[in-house]
Amino acid sequence: MRIGFLGPEGTFAEEALRELLGSSADMDLVPLSGVADCFEAVRSGTVPEALVPIENSIEGSVTQTLDQLAFGETPLQIRAEVVHRIRHHLIAREGVALGDVREVISHPQATAQCRRFLRRELPGVDIAAAHSTAEAVRVVSTTDQPWASIGTLRAADLYGVNVIADDIADVDDNHTRFVLLGREPAPATGAGPFRTSIVCMLDRDRPGALLAILQEFAMRAVNLTRLESRPAKTGLGRYVFFIDIEGSRERDLPVAAAITAIEEQGVARVTALGSYRVAGLPS
C-alpha cells in the first residue's frame, strides 16, 4: 500500500506517518513536494491516502491544508490523525563541532522556534533559509563548509550526519497535529474517543448566523474542541468556519442531530470532513 506525505524524506511529516503506522508492514511511503500535491495525489488516485499537517501548538493552523479542505474541487475525508512532538536538533557533518559553525540553514519556521539557542550558543552566525528542514540537512551533508542545519533525527540518519546539539527549541511543548486524507470516510469502528470535523460556509452575512450554528451544539450538550474562521474567498468580510466536534457523527446521536439541524436551517452549507479517532499527545 502506498501512502503519501509532505516531503521530502526526513521531514516531521515522515516521522509522524511512521509513528501513525507503527510496525505496519508492506507500506510504500511516498514523499510529495507540497500540501496541494498531497491533496491532488489522493484525488487522482496516485496514492490512496496522504498525511499533511493541519495545526501546530506554536504557529497555529496550516492555512494551505484548511483551504484545500474547504475549497478543493473534490472533497476529501480525514481518516485519522496523529499528534507528533516537534524536536529540533542542530545537525552537522563529521568533524564540525558547535564552536566551528559559521552558518545555520533550515526552514524559517524551525530557525524562528530556536531563536534563544541560536542567540546564546551561536551569536553572530549567519542564518540561511531552506525549503524544508530535511533539505537543509541534505545541503549540510554535501558541503565542506562549517555549516549546520536544524532538522530531525530521521534526516540526520538518512544523510549520515551528526547531531551536535539535542532539543534546541525555545519551547518544549511543541506539537504538530497531522491528518491522514482519503477519498472515503474512516470506518466508525473500534474504541474511541472520536472527533468529527466539518466546514460551515454561510450562505450570506446575517446577524446571529454563527450563533445559530453554535446553539445547535450547545442545546444538545455537544462539546466543540476547535472553532476557526478562514476567508471565504468571495469578498472581504466573508468567512467559512472550521469546527471540530467531540464525538462521532455515525456513533453519537447528539452530534448527528446537531449537524442535521444546521443543514436544515439553511443558514450555512455544511461540508463533512470525517469522523475519526482522537490522537493522544505523545509522551
Do 24 and 18 meet the contact criterion of CB atoms below 8 Å apart?
Answer: no
Contact 52, 178 (CB under 8 A): yes
Distance, in Å, from the CA atom of 36 to the CA atom of 181, rounded to the nearest integer, reads 12
53 shares its domain with 95 = no
Say yes or no: 81 and 93 in one domain: no
Let me know if residue 38 belongs to a domain. yes
Domain of 178: which CATH number? 3.40.190.10
Say if residue 221 is exposed, middle or buried (CB neighbours under 10 Å; 0-12, 13-18, 19+). Answer: exposed
Phi, psi of 181 (to 5 degrees): -95, 145
Together in a domain, 127 and 267: no
CB distance 230 to 70 below 8 Å: yes
The residue written with cell numbers 446577524 in the block is 207
Shared domain check, 251 and 136: no
**What stretches in the chain show pLDDT beneath 50?**
none
Considering the domain architecture, whether residues 67 and 93 belong to the same structural domain is answered as no
Q: Please indicate, yes or no, if residue 134 is contained in any of the structural domains.
A: yes
221 and 202 in a common domain = yes
Cα–Cα distance between 103 and 111 in angstroms, integer?
A: 12
Instruction: Please write the tens of the pLDDT for every residue from 2-29.
Output: 999 998 899 999 999 999 988 655 788 9
The enclosing domain of 222 has a CATH number of 3.30.70.260
Q: Are residues 75 and 9 in the same domain?
A: yes
The per-type count for the chain, helices as H runs and strands as E runs, is 9, 15
Is residue 148, in this structure, part of any structural domain at all? yes
Count of the separate structural domains present in the chain:
3
Between the alpha carbon of residue 198 and those of residues 50, 76, 268, the distances in Å are 19, 12, 11
Name the DSSP letter for residue 169: -
Residues 56 and 178 in one domain: yes
DSSP per-residue string spanning 132-159? SHHHHHHHHHH--SSEEEEE-HHHHHHH
| pTM of this structure | 0.87
- How far is residue 49's CA from residue 120's CA, in Å, rounded to a whole number? 42
Collapse the DSSP code of 17 into the 3-class scheme (helix H, G, I; strand E, B; otherwise coil) and give the result. helix
Only one residue has cell 496514492, namely 47
Task: State the distance between the two ends of the chain, measured CA to CA, in whole angstroms.
Answer: 29
Angle (CA) 18-116-53 rounded to 5° is 30
Identify the domain boundary among 138, 155, 182. 182
Indicate if the alpha-carbon torsion angle 257, 261, 258, 65 is positive or negative: positive
In this predicted structure, what is the pLDDT of residue 283? Answer: 57
Spatial separation of the C-alpha atoms in residues 198 and 224, rounded to whole Å: 11
Residue whose C-alpha cell reads 446571529 in the numeric block = 208
The rounded distance, in Å, linking the Cα atoms of 220 and 157 is 50
Instruction: Give the rounded distance of the alpha carbon of 218 from its chain centre.
Output: 28
Q: Say if 188 falls within a structural domain.
A: no
Q: Whose CA is closest to 139, among 184, 104, 100?
A: 104
Residue 265 lies in a domain: yes
The last residue of one of the domains, among 152, 182, 212, is 182
Does 61 lie in the same domain as 99? Answer: no
Considering the domain architecture, whether residues 69 and 178 belong to the same structural domain is answered as: yes
Give the domain range for residue 218.
194-277
Answer yes or no: do 47 and 178 share one domain.
Answer: yes
3-state percent helix, strand, coil for the chain, nearest multiple of 5: 30, 35, 35
Domain end (from 182, 209, 236): 182
Q: Are 211 and 257 in contact (CB under 8 A)?
A: no
- Do 73 and 178 belong together in one domain? yes
- Establish if 282 belongs to a structural domain: no
Is 258 a domain residue?
Answer: yes
Q: Are strands 103-106 and 126-129 parallel, antiparallel or unpaired?
A: parallel
